[in-house]
Amino acid sequence: MKIPGFLMDRPMNQQHYDIIIAGAGAAGLTLLYYLLKSRLHSQISVLLIDQSLQPDPSKTWCFWDHSSFDIPEIIYHSWNHLTVSALGESYSEDLLMNKYHCIRSIDYSGMILQEARKSESVTLLKAEIRGFASAGSGATVETSEGTFSAGMIFQSALKPSDFSTSKVDVSLLQHFVGWEIECREDLFDPNKAILMDFDIEQLNGVTFMYLLPFSERSALIEHTLFSAEILDQEQYEEAIRDYLSKRFHLTPGSYFIRRKEFGAIPMEDRVYSSFYCPNVMNLGIVGGLAKPTTGYTFKRIHNRCKSIVRHLEEGKMPEEKRESQYRFRVYDMMLLSILKNETKNSIQIFHDLFEKNSFDRILDFLDEKTTIPQELSIFSSLPYLPFFRSIYRMKHRIFTGA
Ligand SMILES: Cc1cc2nc3c(=O)[nH]c(=O)nc-3n(C[C@H](O)[C@H](O)[C@H](O)COP(=O)(O)OP(=O)(O)OC[C@H]3O[C@@H](n4cnc5c(N)ncnc54)[C@H](O)[C@@H]3O)c2cc1C
């Protein structure tokens, strides 16, 4: 097996590693997972740095797949029946190809941190990450515990160095508060998830409820918005209380809240750089891996990390890469522009999308796995005027390939 040159040409000492992973969230830990499973594992030294190296209880990560996920044992719950409601109508379907999965960050980070602690190749460092610089054929990271160097650094902690000057026309957030609740009586069907329920007040931008039942009595329920401004915590929570009351006749005394989560995921047409500086690769959210129109990031992180490790195993440098093909970037730009400027039409689009297309086809489309004829068929099922207007608004980006 060939070892990439940059992994070999440095002296080994306390401050130098073959690879530094800066940030031990979903991206950093996923990269570490694939490195630990790779043929390189016993031949490289890895430094993992984060401000916290404890299992993270704060998130649930959901994604769908055609049974291709590499760590099925870590999946907490899966659903094969989804519902979307909009404009007073509900569309429900059994998925035939995909399954919708949920992973708890506490399980995922706990498992990978435990493997890291057992490995002789990995050093864990609790420290604040302050900056990166390239240095010769490698790079350095400056932390509260000193400066460390490596042949290659993968970072998911700091925004890219050119963040403030990168091109962006639409900058929204997918922001939400979620409650994991436990009820006193059976209420939910653990096989059926509500992917999006738009039949709620639309006061601050495109807004929906998301409900993932884990058992007859427990579920995660999230009040989610696609908009530019984060709300006060109480506004999300009031909306959740209201939904539980109207939809499930639950009064606050009839359930208790096991856990809360908050998220704000960028939904932008920003062009993210692959590298912070030479030999420092951006990963995860700061690497632009969030799908601009959905916020789903977790599976993209897996795909990217697998590809990086494959390159390293083949003795190659990981390549600079745009996450999406150009036509999918254009679709994202159009839909982002509609989400920002046309709330009512956005909901009509979601309604028509799920009314007229199979859920499996839509999920594959969102995964950017569809063919052009399939995409034309999807677009022909949607109102076309909002898309024409969005092309006009975004023409300087769409027609310049930016
Ligand atoms: C609550 C929530 C739910 C989500 N749900 C989904 C979902 O269902 N499906 C999906 O696909 N995506 C989801 N996402 C989006 C995305 O998958 C997650 O944000 C994911 O955690 C991104 O991984 P990351 O490694 O880029 O960032 P993070 O997981 O946030 O990791 C970054 C790491 O860097 C560390 N760090 C940051 N700054 C410093 C510093 N200066 N010094 C030291 N350490 C630092 C942090 O401690 C953290 O551990 C969700 C996001 C949130 C917030």
Q: What is the CATH number of the domain that holds 284?
A: 3.50.50.60
Q: What is the pLDDT of residue 223?
A: 98
Amino acid code (one letter) for 228: A
**25 CA to middle of ligand 1, Å?**
5
Which residues of the chain fall below pLDDT 70? 1-14, 401-402
Cβ neighbour number for residue 72 with a 10 Å cutoff: 11
Same domain, 291 and 207: no
Q: What is the pLDDT of residue 113?
A: 98
Ligand 1 site residues, Cβ closer than 6 angstroms: 23-28, 50-52, 59-63, 128-129, 156-157, 261, 263, 265, 284-285, 296-298
Q: Which residues contact 50 (CB under 8 A, 6 or more apart)?
A: 22, 23, 24, 25, 28, 126, 127, 129, 157
Same domain, 218 and 182: yes
Whole domain around residue 152: which residue ranges? 5-58+103-166+269-313
Contact (CB, 8 A) for 284 and 31 = no
Same domain, 35 and 145: yes
Q: What is the pLDDT of residue 267?
A: 95
**141 CA to middle of ligand 1, Å?**
20
Query: Residue 285 CA: which ligand 1 atom is closest?
Result: 26
Nearest to 81 by CA among 65, 89, 93, 91: 93
Domain of 204: which CATH number?
3.30.70
Distance between CA atoms of 68 and 333, rounded to whole angstroms? 28
Query: Residue 56 CA: which ligand 1 atom is closest?
Result: 49
Same domain, 156 and 182: no
Same domain, 155 and 283: yes
Q: What is the pLDDT of residue 322?
A: 76
Nearest residue by C-alpha to atom 45 in ligand 1: 157
Q: What is the pLDDT of residue 11?
A: 46
Residues above pLDDT 90, as percent of the chain: 86
Same domain, 132 and 177: no
Same domain, 372 and 344: yes
Same domain, 369 and 221: no
Cβ neighbour number for residue 256 with a 10 Å cutoff: 12
Which tokens sit at 82? 């989804």
Same domain, 349 and 380: yes
Domain boundary among 267, 282, 301: 267
Nearest to 100 by CA among 134, 127, 69: 69
Query: Residue 297 CA: which ligand 1 atom is closest?
Result: 11
Q: What is the pLDDT of residue 8?
A: 47
Indicate the number of domains in the chain: 3
Q: Could you list the beta-strand ranges (E) of 23-98.
A: 46-50, 60-65, 77-79, 81-86, 89-94
Same domain, 352 and 308: no
Would you say residue 320 lies in a domain?
no
Would you say residue 319 lies in a domain?
no
